Amino acid sequence: MTVLSAAHDYLDTDVYLDLRDSLDLPLVLKCEGLNLAGSIKMQPAAWMVSAAQRDGLLRPDSVLIESSSGNLGVALSVIAASRGLRFVCVTDVNCNPATVKLMRTLGAEVVVLDEPHPTGGFLQARREYVRDRCARQPRHVWLNQYENPANWIAHYESTATLIAKDFPDLDTLFIGSGTGGTLLGCARYFREHRPHVRVVAVDSVGSVSFGGTSGPRYIPGLGAGAPMPLIASAVTAGLVDEVIRVHEIDTIHACRRLAARGVLLGGSSGTVVSAAAQWLAQHPGEHGTAVAIAPDLGERYLNTIYDDAWVRAHYGRDGIRQLLEAS
């Protein structure tokens, strides 16, 4: 029996879902949405806050501030409420409305930007807003998930070690890439302890995390409109074996296939499942034991990726047609 004394005490879950029966896919999902923040971001959020407190950056009158597309903002909202801290989340119009409402319900101040930076998109606009507000209000403390080492250390110490314990015969690991914290932490752990494990990074089409040209993206979570330092560190160190980019309509299709079997996952999880399915189909018999990290659950996406009107508005009639043809 697990008994918690605070909402942020339950960080990582040792729960997996085998997709052989539901999708005829030789893949096991590590389900990270079962904590009280609903996503894998609970781990790095807790580690970053604890590190800031340990280093003396957070005082009783400090105000946490962070740029987030959604899940980290919810995690920090939970932790801030649990620890009696003030928190400001800076997000943008691509953030799910349900996520914005949830953060405000938890007591966070949520700033939703509706104008992207001319060259750096919404990500750059959010970061510039945070820098400006910190400069004007010295009590604000920016955790900076994009460069904070506690982001990847959380996954090195928790996510990766659990997977290694639970799957001693692991061959292939699929990891979504947003800020790169999960990717760098897990890839570094396995390169140091089990170098034979193949690490496959998952990105979204339109993201520039692994190079290429920036394009429109409407599903928050994975991908980025500007290079991510933690991802660059993983690539430079040779920790990533392959990269798979997923079109958002394929993300939606994967989510809906899973929902049809009673598994409601979020956009980041759908992207990872779609990438893994593509890779496994191209490498029959080569993957051995394959595990994918599913970062989030799907309730916050009911009005977006699970809604036909939203899909039609963002991807047009062709988007709906592709979903119907793939069903």
Q: Walk across the sheet containing 242-246 and list its strands.
A: 16-18, 28-31, 289-294, 170-176, 198-204, 242-246
Same fold, 7-38+149-326 and 42-142: yes
CATH number of 42-142: 3.40.50.1100
For 3-59, what is each residue's pLDDT tens digit? 767 776 666 678 999 999 989 999 999 999 998 899 999 999 999 999 999 999 998
* Cβ pair 315, 327 in contact under 8 A: no
Instruction: List pLDDT tens digits, range 55-90.
Output: 999 988 999 999 998 999 999 999 999 999 999 999
- Tell me if residue 109 falls in helix, strand or coil: strand
Query: Model confidence over 106-157: pLDDT tens digits?
Result: 999 999 999 988 888 889 999 999 999 999 999 999 999 999 999 999 999 9
The CATH fold assigned to 7-38+149-326 is: Rossmann fold (3.40.50)
Q: Which of 197-201, 220-224, 264-268, 290-294 has the lowest mean pLDDT?
A: 220-224
Q: Please give the Cα distance from 130 to 77 (Å, whole number).
A: 16
Instruction: Taking residues 211-216, report their average pLDDT.
Output: 88
Please give the DSSP secondary-structure letter assigned to residue 297. Answer: B
pLDDT attached to residue 100: 96
| pLDDT for the residue 1 | 67
pLDDT score recorded for residue 3: 74
Q: Where are the domains of the chain?
A: 7-38+149-326, 42-142
- pLDDT tens, residue by residue, 170-192: 999 999 999 999 999 999 999 99
Average pLDDT over all residues of the chain: 93
